[in-house]
Every structure is written in C-alpha cells, then in structure tokens.
Amino acid sequence: MKTIAEMGLPGRLIAVEGLDGSGKSTQIYLLRRWLEEKSLKVYFTEWNSSELVKSATSRGKKLHLLTPTTFCLIHATDFADRYERHLLPLLKAGYIVLCDRYIFTAFARDVARGCNLEWVRQIYSFAGLPDITFFFKTDLETALSRILDARPQIKYYEAGMDLGISPDPIESFRYFQGRILKAYEEMAQEFKFEIMDASLPAHVQQTKIRRIVANRIKLQKFRSTGPRPIFTQTTPQLKWQAPIETHQVE
C-alpha cells in the first residue's frame, strides 16, 4: 500500500485515529479551521458518513442486527463510497483531505471483533495510505470518563456488547476498547503513526500537529485561487460554494 504522495497524486491526505474519547475529533476540527484560514483547498470527511449507506448502518445498529462480519462489510461499503466519489477526486484535484478516522479504524475494530486481519486489510487494499496519520493515545479510563461526561451512557457497539464479553457495558467497554488500543499500538510503527499524547492540553497538541503538518506538507501549493468545490450528500455531482468566512483559531 502506498501513500497518496507515493501514488503521485497532487493532493495530500491527513487522518486522525484513536479510541472514542481520545479528543481526535476536536484536534482535526482545529486543524481544519487553521488550514481554511490560510485559504488552502481543504476537504473534511468522517467515518461512517456516506448518505448511501448511513441509514442502513443506523438501522442495523439500532436493532442490534450487525454481526462482526456484517459490521465490517457495511463500514467498508460506506468507506468505499466516500473514497471513490469524494476523497479520490479531490486528491486528484490537489486538495488536502482530512479524515476523522480512516482504514486503521477498521483494522483495529474489526480485528478486535474477531475478523481475520489479512481479510480485513484485503477489503481496504484499494485505498491509498494517508501522508500523515495522527494517533491520539490515551488510557482507557480517561477515554471512558470523557465519553460519560459528554453523554449519559456508552453505545452498544462502542462497548463491544455484541460480542457478549460482559453484561456490564463499562466492563465490556474496557475489554473491547483495550483490544482496539493494542491493535493501534501494533500498527503504529508499521504505518508510521505520529503518536500524540492525548492527555496534554488541547492547545499543546494542536501546536505540535500544526508544526508537523507544516514541516511535512508544502502548504503554499494548496492555496485556493477561486470558489471552493463541494460534494452534495445525496449526489456525486460537483457544485460550487464561495469560500467561507473564518476567524483566527488560538
């Protein structure tokens, strides 16, 4: 598997990975705003967000219908739809594409659910690797505390309740997410993750992220000179939108 740069595409791909509650979504949001303020060509996407697949995934999760295999395949379908219709065209058009979770989420979660690692990797073998992957490393108790501070309970699949590990969602979460954390740690060297200490203050993490991005990517090459193209959620047709107003991110 090659990175987007190694594939010879003019765009660049940046992904964030980590346990639920690691703070990765906050950090990629801040990075996105910083890049937009520089008037760069930026596109953002997140895991499990394809309009063609999302309703089926939501129904399957709500009714607890997803087995480890169907869970893997439906998320792979979601990713393939976004990759082919959104990510790849914009990378070919010279955009910086930001992904809140990428294929490593599948490599970690699906294997933690018992799927064969080589099988899972083969499913996603069509995808290019990110040019930079930030892994936000946090301990299980911190992740759990942050989740419960944000909402009243842990989600069924988030806790791995479908695996029958424990009838207690908290204990199931610790065991299942512990498997995921181990999988991430095993991938870190292989895929050259930039490991972030997610326990540090948000502004400290963001400063380091911006420094790494600026050092690894020639940002001036991605400066926008016109209106910003966006994809609608319901059709692959390309539409045009004027650049948005932005404010300084501290």
Q: Classify residue 1: in a domain, yes or no.
A: no
CATH number reported for the structural domain that contains residue 153 in this entry: 3.40.50.300
Phi and psi angles of residue 138, each rounded to the nearest 5 degrees, phi first:
-145, 160
Q: Classify residue 214: in a domain, yes or no.
A: yes
146 exposed, middle or buried (CB, 10 Å; 0-12, 13-18, 19+)? Answer: middle
State how far the Cα of 188 lies from the Cα of 17, in Å rounded to an integer: 11
Q: Classify residue 209: in a domain, yes or no.
A: yes
Tens-place pLDDT, residues 188-231: 999 999 999 999 999 999 999 999 999 999 999 999 876 655 54
Domain range for 190 is 12-241
Q: Classify residue 4: in a domain, yes or no.
A: no
Extract the tokens encoding 242.
């004027």
Instruction: Report pTM.
Output: 0.88
Q: Classify residue 250: in a domain, yes or no.
A: no
Tens-place pLDDT, residues 44-70: 999 999 988 988 999 998 999 999 999
C-beta atoms surrounding 54 within 10 Å? 15
Q: Classify residue 2: in a domain, yes or no.
A: no
State how far the Cα of 175 lies from the Cα of 97, in Å rounded to an integer: 33
Instruction: Give the sign of the dihedral formed by CA 242, CA 216, CA 127, CA 56.
Output: negative
